[in-house]
Amino acid sequence: MKYKGIIFDLDGVICFTDQFHYQAWKKMADETGIYFDEVINNRLRGVSRMESLNIILERAKRVYSDDEKEALAEKKNRLYVEFLQKMSPADLKMEVKETLEALRRVGYKLAIGSSSKNAKLILERLGLDDFFDAVSDGTNITRSKPDPEVFLIAAEYLKLAPKECLVVEDALAGIDAAVSGGFDSAGIGEAASHEKVTYPIARFSQLLEIEEG
């Protein structure tokens, strides 16, 4: 096997919370009188909550204080968590579930490397709370992707070196993070077009072909 471990981003790779993020940010922005659309939302992929808010505030008509920003980020998160509470194991795609189980059978150590502070709640909602060998997320990092910290900590939790791990990402910032941490990567969605991605994939189940190749 070329790799001993696989580190998965969560949002956009294991589950599809993009629309929840969008709708929660959109409501916050509308109520605050700030322009926000899906194009701006695309820039938030892989980026921490506060950095996402800073991107949204580029369109604001005035400067917001740190306390105001905290309140806006909290408001968005409350709306977002309401969506998450409605998720259930039925929201875990069969293809994702079966591929994860097959990778586990092959003998890979499996970890999450997500910028989200809600990662553990999402894993719980999907019935995956006990599945991964390690979870590195927004609660244990000080720098968000494209900084490699979240993946370096995931590798450390797995007791593996970056070269022994493959990172799976949907965000361009996530591939940048993998590259700067010394990890090979598999890119799905927008990340498949990153010029530095090791394996561009169109479907999650193609991770099984990487193992064979």
Among the listed residues 92, 86, 98, the one whose alpha carbon sits nearest the alpha carbon of residue 127? 92
Site for Mg ion in 12-31 (CB under 5 A): 12
Is 11 one of the annotated active-site residues of the chain?
Answer: yes
**What does 189 bind: Mg ion, ligand BG6, none (CB cut-off 5 to 8 Å by kind)?**
none
With contacts defined by CB under 5 A, name the span among 11-19, 26-34, 77-85, 160-168 that binds Mg ion.
11-19
Query: Which residue number has the CB closest to Mg ion?
Result: 12
Instruction: For residue 176, indicate whether it is catalytic.
Output: no
Pairing relationship of beta strands 134-136 and 5-8 according to DSSP bridges: unpaired
Work out the number of other CB atoms within 10 angstroms of the CB of residue 88.
Answer: 10
In whole angstroms, give the CA distance from residue 150 to residue 10: 12
Nearer to ligand BG6, 129 or 209 (CB): 129
User: Is residue 156 packed enough to be buried (19+ CB in 10 Å), middle (13-18) or exposed (0-12)?
Assistant: middle
Q: Give the nearer residue to ligand BG6 in terms of CB position, either 82 or 209.
A: 82
Closer CB to ligand BG6, 44 or 154, in the complex? 44
**Residues 151-210 close enough to bind Mg ion by CB under 5 A:** 170-171
Instruction: Identify what 43 binds: ligand BG6, Mg ion, none; CB under 5 to 8 Å per kind.
Output: none
Q: Per rule CB under 5 A, is residue 113 in the interface with Mg ion?
A: no
- Which residues, 6 or more positions from 206, have their beta carbon under 8 angstroms from its beta carbon? 186, 199
The partner in contact with residue 120, picked from ligand BG6, Mg ion, none with C-beta cut-offs of 5 to 8 angstroms by kind, is none
- Residues binding Mg ion: number (CB under 5 A): 5
Calpha distance 22→42 (Å, rounded): 9
Q: What is the dihedral of CA 48, 191, 165, 44, to 10 degrees?
A: 0
- Contacting residues toward ligand BG6, per CB under 6 A: 10-11, 21, 44-49, 52, 77, 114-118, 138
What are the backbone dihedrals phi and psi of residue 74, each rounded to the nearest 5 degrees, phi first? Answer: -65, -40
Task: Tell me which residue of 188, 182, 193 sits closest to 204, measured CA to CA.
Answer: 188
Residue 147 contact, options ligand BG6, Mg ion, none, Cβ 5-8 Å cut-off depending on partner type: none
As annotated, the active-site residues are 9, 11
Residues that bind Mg ion (CB under 5 A): 9, 11-12, 170-171
